[in-house]
Amino acid sequence: MNENYLHLIWKTKRLPFHLLQTIDKKEVKILHVGIYNTASGPDFFNGQIEIDGVRHSGNIEMHIKSSDWYAHKHHEDRAYDNVILHVVYEHDQLVFIEGIEIPTIELKEHIDWAHYKQVHQFSESKSLVHCASSLNDCPPPIFWNQVEVALLDRLNRKAQELHESQNEVAPNPKEVLFQALAKSFGCKTNALPFMELSQRLPFERFMKCSLPEKQALVFGTAGFLEQQPSDDYQLQLTNEWRFQRARLSIQAAKKESWKFKGCRPPGFPTIRLAQFANFIHRMDWSEAFWELPTRQLLDAMYSALLAPIDAYWLNHVNFGIAKKDKVSTAMSKATAQLIIVNSIVPFLFWLSKRLANSAYREKGLEILEMLPAEKNVRLDYWKQLGIEAKSAADAQGLLELLSQWCEKKLCLKCRVGQHTLGQKQ
């Protein structure tokens, strides 16, 4: 037995409420099971019960054993002072609040063991989505409501990660965005060296540089200009880098930290670094930019992300290394969309919290609704189950649901799982 199962059968009312009694044989009428609480504090808020004709309103707490009240130190926590009912699987100890015994219900004799076994088998399923065979029976509003919950969890989590990555109490929002963009340009393969790059560059002074200066600083700080130049283009960047390195006191990273293996030529770190310098220079960094209508803002982002880089990279994959065939160095629209989804939208959520202005949060959600769903194997998996993302918002919610709910077997906290397991057979 576990508490999550007790929570499930209580909130889905899979109990013979008409038979419930307190441990001292008093009849209990459950007028309202309460509002399920997933945060700290009592398990159900604002429940309503009636005992001996007297109505009580307050919180309801659930445990495997009554003695867990003391084991969990609830008697030392004032948040539990308004508990009106203690619901336990097994009663083994009287519990008191300020000297008054809490009415207690024991559920041991009312458990539907066939249902318990079904829930246990459900949570032990080897399928990535444990309710895969029952998804067709789940009403779409319930399923997509859970996807929306997962989406907001994902964006709030990413916004929190941005917050935790900053050392200052009041960080510069532009620098927070700069670092978020750098990480997203690196994708999974080069996210760490890109993050290191963004932290080594002196942001304020870097932003004042011309495009050639930015290119030299980016490649130099990344460690690609420490060797002897192999051609005129690299020589030009190296000379500028040596001047800027001395002026700004920058230490170059190790070139070996950048990974080419596993990347196709358009995604090589050298190409991404050139695109990054180009984008940072072209992007509108004014505060007024975020006040633009969402469609106009998106168009401006696309224009900066998809702008062509130096012609040198049409013929090279690295400094001095020519391409066998000419391959376009223009960023694909799909990559541009991923960068917007993985950096701009979380930044807007972070900014919304930072400024206590929900308009930025709403703009982030609007962007996701406007963008198409990305393509990856995890979304293909959902598609095989009959679930197809229509937008980036759907896609982000489905990805979060799979990784943070399904894979962690949080079925009893998931609305889809609750619906599936809470149905009476």
Convert the pLDDT of each residue in 52-69 to its tens digit.
889 999 999 999 999 999
SS3 146: helix
Task: Tell me the percentage of the chain whose pLDDT exceeds 90.
Answer: 75
Handedness of CA 298, 348, 178, 371 (dihedral sign): negative
| Position 391 confidence tier, pLDDT thresholds 50, 70, 90 | very high
CA distance 405 to 188: 22
Asked if residue 174 lies in contact with residue 198, where contact means CB atoms within 8 angstroms, the answer is: no
Mean pLDDT of 196-212: 96
Beta bridge partners of 90: 65
pTM of this structure? 0.74
Higher pLDDT, 118 or 350: 350
* Residue 170 CB contacts under 8 Å (≥ 6 apart), including other chains: none
Q: In this predicted model, what pLDDT tens digit does every residue of 17-51 receive, in sequence order? A: 999 999 999 999 999 999 998 778 999 999 999 99
Q: Give pLDDT, residue 424.
A: 45
Residue keyed to tokens 């020589």: 235
- Give the DSSP H or E segment for 87: strand 83-90
Contacts 24+ apart (CB under 8 A), 296-301: 297/363, 297/367, 298/340, 298/367, 298/370, 298/371, 301/336, 301/340, 301/344
Higher pLDDT, 377 or 322: 377
CA distance 201 to 181: 14
Q: Out of 95-109, 267-281, 315-329, 348-362, which region has the weakest mean confidence (pLDDT)?
A: 315-329
Higher pLDDT, 306 or 411: 306
Asked if residue 408 lies in contact with residue 135, where contact means CB atoms within 8 angstroms, the answer is: no
CA distance 32 to 331: 56
Report the mean per-residue pLDDT for the chain: 91
Residue 226 DSSP class:
S
Q: In this predicted model, what pLDDT tens digit does every residue of 76-102 receive, in sequence order? A: 999 999 999 999 999 999 999 999 999
